[in-house]
Amino acid sequence: MMQDFGQCDGKRCTGRKLCRLGYMKDMRVGQSFRGVVLSPMGERSVSAEDREHVIASGVSVIDCSWALIDSIPFSKLRGGFHRLLPFLVAANPVNYGRPLKLSCAEAAAATLYITGFKEEAEQVMSKFKWGHSFFEVNRTLLDRYAACANSAEVVKVQNDWIEECEREQANKHPADDDLLIANPNHANRGSSAGGDDDSDSEEDEDEDDDDDDDEEDEDEDEDDEDDEEGSDDESDDEEGSEDEEDSDEDEEDSEEELAKDMKKKATIKASGNSSRGGRGGRGGGRGGRGGRR
């Protein structure tokens, strides 16, 4: 059920949407109701103890604006079991992230969840695109509330949770002051100074690495030049060895030609001696002829 005070935007009102879909019924202000009524008039928190009231008569929410809540005549609300909702965080687009600023749909779903109707609660929120966010944000708390036997236990769980959040907030690093994501542009002197040192050191290391790489490249270039010079020397040595072989072959050829020439000269000389010897004989003959003369 929903008691509408006409203060909300009809296009954004989650309660009116649930009425159109048949999940809620609109009731007159002051109309008698015997179920669980979620209102500031309550003195106890909703808990598993209210399950029977929900089964018998359902849940009623008050559709009004949080900005005008002080103007609501709660004294006109008659009957029912007035209950308070424990600490929960809104996930609707209007008040996302704000504690206790729940929409009508979120309030009804939370009541159903805590009193043991988890499937029905998820079915109600499935009618909204952002409905899953409500359970993602509050699942842990809702499960703890649902496990409580009575209102006193629910209040204790709520207070313990709030104290835990306050301790975490007090011990949280200043750079992590965002609710969901730390702001990377947060001007934190300590962390930024350290970050600058780290970045400088990393840049220095990068420069050193670059210098080392350059030196290694220069060494490699020098090695390549040495290898090229070595290969040139080897090619020169090979050419020199080829020239030596050619010169050796030329020397052998010249020696062979020289030997041939010497042999030829020796042959000519020998033949000359033999001819001269014949002449000498003839000379001797001449001498003989001269004696005869």
Structure tokens at 18: 């649930």
One-character DSSP codes across 10-66: TTT-HHHHHHHHTS--EE-TT----SEEESTT-SSB--GGGHHHHHHH-EEEEE--G
Q: Quick one: average pLDDT of 104-116?
A: 94
Is the pTM higher than 0.85? The answer reads no
Q: Quick one: average pLDDT of 102-130?
A: 94
Q: Is 84 annotated as a binding residue?
A: no
At 25, which amino acid appears? Answer: K
Q: Quick: pLDDT tens for 232-250.
A: 544 454 455 554 455 555 5
Q: Pick the closest to residue 165 from 110, 217, 99 (CA basis).
A: 99
- Taking 70 as the threshold, does the pLDDT of residue 188 lie above it? no
Q: In what order do the strands lie in the sheet with 26-27?
A: 26-27, 2-4, 59-63, 36-38, 81-83
Q: Quick: pLDDT tens for 27-76.
A: 766 667 788 888 877 889 999 999 999 999 888 887 665 555 665 656 66
Residue 135 CB-density burial (10 A; 0-12 exposed, 13-18 middle, 19+ buried):
middle
Where is pLDDT greater, at 207 or 32?
Answer: 32
DSSP bridge partners of 204: none
Least confident of 26-35, 169-178, 179-188: 179-188
Each domain of the chain, given as residue ranges in start order, spans 2-176, 211-248
Least confident of 26-30, 108-112, 286-290: 286-290
Q: Is 85 annotated as a binding residue?
A: yes
Q: Is 14 annotated as a binding residue?
A: yes
